[in-house]
Structure 1
Amino acid sequence: MAKKKTDIPFYSLDAGAKAGIEIKRLTELGTEEIPFNTAHRDDHYIFIFQESGEGTMVVDFKEVHVQGRGIFCILPGQVHYGVVVESAVVWFLALDNALVGEQFRPAFEGRQQLVAIDDAAAHRLRSCIQLVHDLHQVLGEDRFQHAVLRSLIDAYIGLFAGIFSEENRLADDTTSRTGIITRQFKTLLAASFRQMKKPAAYAAALNISPSYLNEAVKAVTGMPVSYWIQEEVMTEARRLLHYTDHTVKQISDDLGFDDHTYFSRSFTRTAGMPPLAYRKAYRK
């Protein structure tokens, strides 16, 4: 009898992660040594810098293939796992959410592709992450060491964000009023989508009118508030259908729906098929 799939594993940083940081350089990594080969999610950010080799991972149902040099960011809550790795040299940096500055986060949100990098960018990243690693190894109680480490982390994430922003040709000014509102909405949405399903609820929480919230979010993202609420809820529904054996009613309850038949109709409208048909079609 197949083992019943319960909740998707959800991992936090190890208790031994100093200052909310876990950093590793993995060399000659092969498929048999993949440290994350089963589907799970984390409550923190993960920044991956592959110096060489080849690898494939799946993040929220999208396959990401890395050949040669490249960078990638896994956001808190995304379900991911490694598939294949061949002779890879990889820098792995896991960071407590508080260490990822608000000014950098928009560069990574909603972008699940690998970004290839050139020699100059690889050299800058390698130099910076080596400094982070060396200081983290000897980190003690000295407050100046902690301040320097935080600055180095900002520099490293800033390099990532700059590369991602250039690759995606971000046109929105994330320091503008509309950019700030959109960022605040996305942060609130990630934390509250189970309880809050109406645009008006988010507007009230942000102390602005629903029309202004919708105008700001649509100006920055091209899509209205209702789209992003539905996208967040249905992405989580797909995760639970794919990676657990929870019933449709259990999933509906988990997502904060009072009526599981309404949830089923909403899912069918979005996915083009009922929840159980989706599970049968897409889960291996």
Structure 2
Amino acid sequence: MPKRRSIPIHSLDKVNQLGILVRRFTGMDPETDANLAHRDENYLFMVMEQGRARMVVDFKTITASGKTIFCILPGQVHYGISAHNVKAWVVAVNTDLVHKQYQQVFEQQLPQLLPLPVDDTFTGRMGQCIKLLEEVYLSANSSTFRQQATRSLLDAFIAMFAEVYAATDPTTDNSHPRTLIITRQFKGLLSRNYKTMKSPAAYAAALNISTPYLNEAVKGATGLPVSYWIQQEVVTEAKRLLYYTDKTVKEIAYELGFDDHTYFSRLFTKAEGMTALTFRKQYRE
């Protein structure tokens, strides 16, 4: 593995100023840097119509076959492994164009965000929506109405996408809506603030509720306490940096917001059952 001080980050800002990119995908170019480990600042939404594709997302090998949808969130480290007879659409969208309610649906699925099968009707509808979206945002017309039309089509596309994921989420039981709202708000805060906010009390304060109530809500919705989810977010990012960069454990600890790198090392060992350096050596071999 070549030495790296950071994980490459792809940004739509370098592609266009619209915050949207639509691409028709029919295979993998072995020379493209999309097949090298990287992360995106934006969301990636994939609608696969046929074929079989394999990729790695945050150390998990993901396989998508047939008619499938899949989402990769901003910050997740990923790369393609193989694609056979694939026909798919890929839509990249800047985070600020994805409504919070949709972001919460996808974040709620972590750390098990997986491809989901869909039927002919759904893929046909999504294909039509994507083609129209592509037509509108690529048009030469730069009027306000074009921007509004683009945003409306994008919202419709993401809403259909989110609806499929929401239907598979066991925490969407509406018998305790307040609990679910709190849990989704917590996970949204966590994904953006895990480097600076490390305690359940900090998240409870940000949500203007008590720490016991936050713990009760999150554990009731997910089966796991707030402290677990905070640790999960920190350790996942630590694993990315250990594997994909050559930063020292001390440097990684400071990057993740720990003043005491020995405390970080103990936390990692407890969570993974091995030291950070053992993890790096084991997964790189």
TM-score (norm 2): 0.92
Q: How many residues align?
A: 282
Report the equivalent of 1:42: 40
Counterpart of 2:167 in 1: which secondary structure? helix
C-alpha distance in structure 2 between counterparts of 1:238 and 1:174, whole Å: 37
Contact persistence 1:30–1:87 (CA under 8 A): no
Report the equivalent of 1:3: 2
Contact persistence 1:31–1:84 (CA under 8 A): no
Report the equivalent of 2:19: 20
1:263 has 2:261 as partner: no
Cα RMSD over matched residues? Answer: 2.0
C-alpha distance in structure 2 between counterparts of 1:174 and 1:38, whole Å: 44
Q: Mean Cα displacement is larger for which, 136-145 or 175-184?
A: 175-184
Contact persistence 1:47–1:93 (CA under 8 A): yes
Alignment of 1:113-128 (within 5 A): 113-128=114-129
Report the equivalent of 1:227: 228
Report the equivalent of 1:92: 90
Report the equivalent of 2:199: 198
C-alpha distance in structure 1 between counterparts of 2:237 and 2:4, whole Å: 16
- One-letter amino acid of the structure 2 residue matched with residue 259 of structure 1: D
Query: Any idea what the Cα deviations from partners look like across 1:50-100, whole Å, max 9, x if unmatched?
Result: 122221111011111122221100001101011111232221111111211
C-alpha distance in structure 1 between counterparts of 2:176 and 2:100, whole Å: 10
Report deviation, 1:219. Answer: 2.3
> Where in structure 1 are there 5+ consecutive unaligned residues?
none
Q: Mean Cα displacement is larger for which, 235-244 or 202-211?
A: 202-211
Alignment of 1:1-284 (within 5 A): 3-27=2-26, 29-32=27-30, 36-109=34-107, 110=110, 111-138=112-139, 140-173=141-174, 176-284=177-285
C-alpha distance in structure 2 between counterparts of 1:170 and 1:265, whole Å: 32
Report deviation, 1:241. Answer: 0.9
Contact persistence 1:66–1:114 (CA under 8 A): yes
C-alpha distance in structure 1 between counterparts of 2:214 and 2:29, whole Å: 46
> Where in structure 2 are there 5+ consecutive unaligned residues?
none
Contact persistence 1:172–1:220 (CA under 8 A): no
Distance 1:255 1:84, change over 3 A: same
- One-letter amino acid of the structure 2 residue matched with residue 202 of structure 1: Y
Query: Any idea what the Cα deviations from partners look like across 1:137-161, whole Å, max 9, x if unmatched?
Result: 1063322222222111111111111
C-alpha distance in structure 2 between counterparts of 1:12 and 1:156, whole Å: 21
C-alpha distance in structure 2 between counterparts of 1:3 and 1:54, whole Å: 29
C-alpha distance in structure 2 between counterparts of 1:215 and 1:139, whole Å: 53
Contact persistence 2:269–2:276 (CA under 8 A): yes
Q: Mean Cα displacement is larger for which, 69-78 or 2-11?
A: 2-11
Q: Mean Cα displacement is larger for which, 101-110 or 258-267?
A: 101-110
Report deviation, 1:244. Answer: 0.9
Percent of counterpart pairs with the same letter?
49
Report deviation, 1:108. Answer: 1.6
Counterpart of 1:66 in 2: which secondary structure? strand
C-alpha distance in structure 2 between counterparts of 1:219 and 1:3, whole Å: 44
